[in-house]
């Protein structure tokens, strides 16, 4: 199982920046991520273990500089307190990789008034036509 990997095994399969974000809870620079403005239809998977975590149908433009989603695929994303942030940390439930943070009550026009602020580097996009 993916979550059983040692840190050395993660370092062998992830780029240094993916490792920094997914495994040591880093954050990529705002407005630099590959998926910040992507609008194609498809599925966003965890870059660490390839588990589907978000659908493009829940992605929205928030202007925050990172990909924003209002909901995750059921059961795919966990939440835990993060004393370093005003939001809760969100992680891939399959491998424990750090995805970003979730914020509530910001007034965005989505069904549940949540913003999952996700690092692009934590994700791997799979288009509806099978393209990445």
Provide DSSP, 111-132: TT-EEEEE-GGGEEEEETTS--
b/e string for 105-118 if b means 16 or more Cβ within 10 A? eeebebeeebbbbb
Residue of higher predicted confidence among 3 and 44: 44
Checking if the pLDDT of 1 tops 90, the result is no
Tell me: the pLDDT tens digits for 80-100? 998 888 889 999 999 999 999
> Catalytic residue among 46, 92, 95, 117, which?
117
Judged against a pLDDT cut of 80, whether residue 52 lies above it is answered with: yes
- With 90 as the cut, is the pLDDT of residue 8 above it? yes
Q: How confident is the model at residue 4 (pLDDT cuts 50, 70, 90)?
A: confident
Percent of the chain with pLDDT over 90: 86
Helix (H) or strand (E) holding 88: strand 88-92
Higher per-residue pLDDT: 18 or 109: 18
* Domains delineated in the chain: 2-28+36-127 (2.170.150.20)
45 is catalytic: no
Q: Is the pLDDT of residue 74 over 60?
A: yes
């Amino acid at each position: 199982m993916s979550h059983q990997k040692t840190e050395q095994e993660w370092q062998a399969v992830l780029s240094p920046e993916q490792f920094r974000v997914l495994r040591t809870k880093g954050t990529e620079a705002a407005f630099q991520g590959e998926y910040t403005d992507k609008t194609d239809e498809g599925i966003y998977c965890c870059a660490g273990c390839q588990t589907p975590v978000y659908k493009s149908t829940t992605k929205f433009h928030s202007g925050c500089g990172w990909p924003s989603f209002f909901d995750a695929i059921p059961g795919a994303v966990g939440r835990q307190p993060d004393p370093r942030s005003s939001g809760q940390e969100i992680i891939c439930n399959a491998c424990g990789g750090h995805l970003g943070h979730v914020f509530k009550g910001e007034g965005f026009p989505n069904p549940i008034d949540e913003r999952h602020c996700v690092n692009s580097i934590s994700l791997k996009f799979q288009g509806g036509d099978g393209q990445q």
